[in-house]
Chains A and B, each alone.
Chain A
C-alpha cells in the first residue's frame, strides 16, 4: 500500500478535474501526477534521502508529498517558526535531504548543508523534468516524518508509514465522492498532520484544495467567497477570530466546517451554529501519531446536542464525538487496567492508521499494539468521547493530582470569560500551586477574588486557583495550542513584579 496509489487513482478516475490551487491557475489531477513524477526524478538525480519542506502551504506542498512517495523517500515538513537552535537540531537528522524553503528560511537549510529552492523554483524544476515513467519505489520507507509541536517536551519525529496514511484515507473517505465544484480551504500550516491528511483525503474524494499561506480572519472570509469554498478546516482560535470580524461574515457557499487541533470553547461553537445555520459542523479529534482523525462529532450530533433539553445530550457539543470504525479505543487507569464507561483515564488507541514509531527512539506502542495518546478522557454511556486535557499538564498539589481542564471548563463557562488556562506554578510548600490566567469578554472586566469564589462554589477549595491573572490574550501556537510553559513563566514574572 502506497500513497502514490491515491494519486494514480485520482489521475485515472478524474484526471481533468482541478484539484490543487485557485480557480485561475489550478492543477488538474493528471498535472499533479506529472509534476510529482518530475519532482521524484529530481530527488533521485540529487541522491536525496528525504524532502525537507520549510515553507508556507501552497501547490508546491502536495507536489512535494507525492514526489517523495514516488521517489521512495519521506517528506519532512518542518515548522518555519522554530528558533534557529531547534531548527538546526532537527535538520541535522536529515543531512542528505533535498530542501524546499521560503526565501526567509533558506539560510537555515544552507547552514545545515542542504540544497535549497523556493516553492516556485521547485514547481519549475518538477515541470522541466517530467519523465515518461517512474520506477516503483520501496514502500517500506516512511511516507512522512512530522515533528510534534513540543509544547510539553522536546519535539519527537513521528514516523508515518504509507500503510498508516493510506489506511486513514481508505477507511474514512469514499473515492470520487465530492461534487465537481466542491472546494476545500485549508488554513493550517504544512507541518501540521491535518495539512498532510487534508491533501490525501481531498484528492481521493476529488475535491479541489485552496490554501491560505498565512491566516487572517479577513483573508479567510474573502477566500471562502472568492473561491466559492464548500468545505473548510480550522483550529478553534481561527473560528473565534473569524466570528470576531466586524462587518460581512457571510459564507454563502460553505457547506461544511471541520474543526480540531485544540479544545473548542462552547461559546464559540454555539455562536458559529447560530451565525451560519446552513453549515454542517464537524469536530475531529486526532493526533499526529494517529494520522489525524480518530473520533468525529458529526453535523447531526451537533444539531441534536444544541437543540436538546437533556443535559447529557447537550453536553456532547463539547465532546469529540464517536470513535471512527477503524480505531479501537481503551480508557485505562495509571496501572494499565481498562476502565468502565464513564470513568476518566488515559486514552489508548490501536489501528492501522496509528504510527508505531518515533524516529530514532523506537516503538511507541505497547505489546498489544496500543498507543498511549497521553490525553485524559472518558466515554459516556453512548460512546461519546470527552477529552480532559494532556496527562503531562496534570498539576500535583500536595499529594493530589488535579487536571487543569476541569478548572478551565468552569472558568470558560463563566459568561464574562472568553479564554482561560490553569497551570501548576512551583511552590515551596505544596510542590505546585494552582494559578490561572483568563481573558475577559471584550468590554467587560473581571475581579480575581470574585472569580476564585465562583470556582470554589462549583469545585472545591483544593481546586480553586490561588491566583487568577487577567490578560488580553493567552500565548498559543499558530495552530491553537496553549503554550503552558510560557503561561507559568509569565505568571511568575507578573507576581515578581507586583
Chain B
C-alpha cells in the first residue's frame, strides 16, 4: 500500500490504530501482529487477520515508530498487542525531540 500523511491505519488482529506522520513515495507493507494494516475507514469490511505469535510485542499510546531511512513515521493513537512492522521488519521506537513549548 501507499500510506498518505494524515491517514489512519487500523490493525486487523487487535485494536491498534496509528496515524501516518511521514510517508515515503513508494509502496510499503505495514503490518501489525504480522497482518497487513488497513485504512481505518475500511476496517469494518476487512477480514480479520491472523496474528503471528512471534509479532506480539505491543505498541505504546502517543509514541512514534519510524524508519528514517525509508521515510516512514507512524504515531500510535490506540495501542495494542501487535508489533508494528514495515516490509517485515519491526519499526523501532523513535526518540522524542520535542520543540520547546511555544504556546
Query: CB within 8 Å of B: which residues of A?
Result: 1, 5, 8-9, 12-13, 163, 166-167, 170-177, 184, 194, 197-198, 201, 205, 207, 231, 233, 256, 258, 260, 280, 282, 284, 292-293, 296, 298-299, 324, 352
B103 CB within 8 Å of chain A = yes
A167 to B22, CA, bound (A): 11
Partner of B77, one of A9, A172, A260, A296: A9
A170 to B18, CA, bound (A): 12
Q: A9-B61, A163-B6 given as contacts; is B21 within 8 A of A282 (CB)?
A: no
A residues in contact with B103, CB < 8 Å: 194, 197-198, 201, 233, 258, 260, 284, 292-293
A residues in contact with B100, CB < 8 Å: 256, 258, 280, 282, 296, 298-299
A473 to B77, CA, bound (A): 49
Query: B96 and A282: CB pair below 8 A?
Result: no
Nearest chain B residue, comparing its CB with the CB of A298: B100
Query: B75 and A13: CB pair below 8 A?
Result: no
B interface, size bucket? 10 to 19
A280 to B100, CA, bound (A): 9
Partner of B62, one of A13, A282, A299: A13
B45 CB within 8 Å of chain A = no
Q: Which 8 A-B pairs have the closest CB atoms?
A: A175-B62, A284-B102, A174-B98, A174-B96, A1-B6, A293-B102, A282-B100, A198-B103
Query: B6 and A172: CB pair below 8 A?
Result: no
Nearest chain A residue, comparing its CB with the CB of B21: A170
B residues in contact with A13, CB < 8 Å: 61-62
A residues in contact with B96, CB < 8 Å: 174, 177
B89 CB within 8 Å of chain A = no
Residue among B6, B21, B103 with max Cβ neighbours from chain A (10 Å): B103
Nearest chain B residue, comparing its CB with the CB of A166: B6
A-B Cβ contacts below 8 A, count:
76
A286 to B100, CA, bound (A): 15
Closest CB in chain A relative to B27 CB, distance in Å: 22
Nearest chain B residue, comparing its CB with the CB of A198: B103
B8 CB within 8 Å of chain A = yes
Partner of A5, one of B21, B77, B102: B77
A residues in contact with B99, CB < 8 Å: 172-173, 296, 298, 324
A172 to B98, CA, bound (A): 6
A residues in contact with B77, CB < 8 Å: 5, 8-9
B9 CB within 8 Å of chain A = no
Q: A1-B19, A12-B61 given as contacts; is B98 within 8 A of A258 (CB)?
A: no
A9 to B21, CA, bound (A): 16
Closest CB in chain A relative to B20 CB, distance in Å: 9
Cβ contacts A to B, 30 pairs, < 8 Å: A1-B8, A1-B19, A8-B77, A9-B62, A9-B77, A13-B61, A13-B62, A163-B6, A171-B21, A172-B99, A173-B98, A173-B101, A174-B62, A174-B98, A175-B61, A175-B62, A176-B61, A177-B96, A184-B101, A197-B103, A201-B103, A231-B101, A256-B101, A258-B103, A260-B102, A282-B102, A292-B103, A296-B102, A298-B99, A298-B100
A324 to B103, CA, bound (A): 14
Query: A177 and B98: CB pair below 8 A?
Result: yes
A294 to B87, CA, bound (A): 34
Complex interface bits, B69-103 against A, C-beta within 8 A gives 1, otherwise 0: 00000010110000000000000000010111111
A359 to B100, CA, bound (A): 32
B46 CB within 8 Å of chain A = no
A1 to B102, CA, bound (A): 23
